[in-house]
Amino acid sequence: MKKTILTSLLVGFSLLSIAQNAGELKPTKNYQVGSFNDNWFISAGVGVQTYVSENYFSGSLLGHFSPAVDLSIGKWFTPVMGVRAQLSGFNLRGYNSLVSNYVSGVANEDGNYEMGFGYFNIHGDFLFNLHSQFHRYDPNRCYELIPFVGFGLATSFDISEKIVNPEFAASAGLINQFRINERLDIDLELKATVIKSIIDGNSAKYINIPMSATVGVTYKIGKENEFKYASVEPIIPVVEAPAVDNSANQALQNQNNQLSKSLAEQQKKNNDLANSLNQEKQRANQLNSELDALKKAPKVEAVNVNGNFRVFYTIGKTTLDEFNSANLEYIADMVKKSNRKFVIKGYADKTTGKLSVNQKIANKRAQNVYNLLTEKYGVSKDILSIESYVINPTGNPGMVRMAEIK
């Protein structure tokens, strides 16, 4: 017993020594190892446990299960490796073929007695994060799979609640960890412990295996609860440059000057291009604003000004919309009744676009009205002619995007 207790003390002292030697922000691959005060955690869980022995299949199924409690404190040294100390247990139930302080009642048909006793196991575990090892460290990952192995001291309680039968125990298991936030996780822990059979008062057996499944929470404590990415500067050896003659130095200097000059010229071109682009963007914004204003403006009918008729076009268009096209029927009747000749004048805005493009637009607007009057409404071609103009607007730019019959 003394050897077992001494071994457990050495385990705890070793884990503490490892934590104290972690250092201050030492880079390891692409993350930094924190100080002693960083990346600690505490855990608590509840669940069920079962006591596997040679009499495991004797008696009722429920007679082999009992409550389980886990309390832990630990520290991650890196995103992959960590340690913890855990107190687990509560009580164990099962069946025993020998009469001891832990059995009660009479033997069942298998000759075994119902058994129950208080039990706890204090042990140190080494933790290994599989996801951080094989899928890189990610503090925002929703799920982590963490196997562990450990060893410590397990003991049982007799009916007078005195601690008896302390034994060395080895543990192994899996922690399924689900992230809630940067401080809190939910754990599903599966654990098996191997201990000598004397713990239940039966020295005839060799080993027993308490197994448990618990659900709990882990709370991260300490100054830092996540690992920071490291930026390790590469060590570049300093090599002394060989001596060169003055002519070689002068040639290199000339090349450097030429490159600097080319770079300055290219930078100037880039600046000019950037300025031009900004100007075009401003102009495009202005045109878009005018277009939005025209779209929001009310529709204008064909206007009769001193016997002259006008129809209006959308910016950049050379065909009338349905609204203005319908007015041409009225205009055609007036032209037929007037008993005189008319000139169809197409207009375009000089302040938008290229002059050559605007000239074509103005001509096509006049031709559009000419074709509609002669082909659709039967006006004689002999009394019509066309002209086109590109002019500056004196007020509303929309007033020059038109065709006039006069």
- CATH for 57: 2.40.160.20
User: Are residues 201 and 325 both part of a single domain?
Assistant: no
Q: Which of 221, 247, 265 is the last residue of a domain?
A: 221
At 135, which helix (H) or strand (E)?
helix 130-135
Q: Which of 328, 305, 318 is nearest to 406 (CA)?
A: 305
Q: Which of 151, 145, 187, 192 is nearest to 173 (CA)?
A: 192
Q: How far apart are CA 1 and CA 347, in angstroms?
A: 110
Token look-up 């000059």 returns 261
Q: How far apart are CA 315 and CA 402, in angstroms?
A: 10
Q: How many CB atoms lie within 10 A of CB 320?
A: 21
CA atoms in the 13 A half-sphere facing the CB of 178: 7
Task: Calculate the alpha carbon distances from 104 to 61, 98, 99, 100, 209 in Å.
Answer: 17, 11, 8, 9, 21
User: What is the pLDDT, as a whole number, of residue 328?
Assistant: 86
We report the CATH number of the domain holding residue 355 as: 3.30.1330.60
Q: How far apart are CA 293 and CA 313, in angstroms?
A: 14
Q: How far apart are CA 191 and CA 71, in angstroms?
A: 13
CA dihedral (263, 266, 270, 272) positive or negative: positive
Q: Which of 216, 200, 220, 219 is nearest to 208 (CA)?
A: 200
User: What is the pLDDT, as a whole number, of residue 18?
Assistant: 46
User: What is the pLDDT, as a whole number, of residue 293?
Assistant: 60
Is there a domain that residue 281 lies in? Answer: no
Query: Model pTM?
Result: 0.50
Helices (H), 297-383: 322-338, 355-371
The identity of residue 380, as a single letter, is S
Q: How many domains does the chain have?
A: 2
Is there a domain that residue 316 lies in? Answer: yes
What is the token pair recorded at 201? 């008062």
Residues spanned by the domain of 36: 2-221
User: What is the pLDDT, as a whole number, of residue 51?
Assistant: 84
User: Are residues 201 and 320 both part of a single domain?
Assistant: no
Is there a domain that residue 196 lies in? Answer: yes
User: Are residues 70 and 200 both part of a single domain?
Assistant: yes
Q: How far apart are CA 355 and CA 359, in angstroms?
A: 6
Is there a domain that residue 269 lies in? Answer: no
CA dihedral (57, 61, 62, 63) positive or negative: negative
Q: How many CB atoms lie within 10 A of CB 131?
A: 17
User: Are residues 312 and 168 both part of a single domain?
Assistant: no
Q: Which of 192, 221, 250 is the last residue of a domain?
A: 221
Q: What is the pLDDT along the chain (406 residues), one digit of tens a residue?
A: 444 444 544 545 454 444 444 444 444 556 666 677 888 999 999 999 998 887 788 878 888 898 999 999 999 888 889 999 999 988 888 888 777 777 777 878 887 888 887 888 999 999 999 988 888 788 888 999 999 999 998 888 765 656 577 788 999 999 999 999 988 999 999 999 998 877 777 766 668 889 999 999 999 987 766 776 655 555 566 656 555 567 888 889 999 999 999 999 999 999 999 999 999 999 888 888 766 765 554 444 444 545 678 888 888 888 888 777 778 888 998 898 888 899 999 999 888 888 888 899 999 999 999 999 999 999 999 999 999 998 887 766 667 788 999 8
Q: How far apart are CA 70 and CA 285, in angstroms?
A: 68
User: What is the pLDDT, as a whole number, of residue 144?
Assistant: 92
The identity of residue 325, as a single letter, is S
Task: Calculate the alpha carbon distances from 388 to 53, 266, 391 in Å.
Answer: 107, 45, 10
Q: Which of 226, 233, 231 is nearest to 34 (CA)?
A: 226
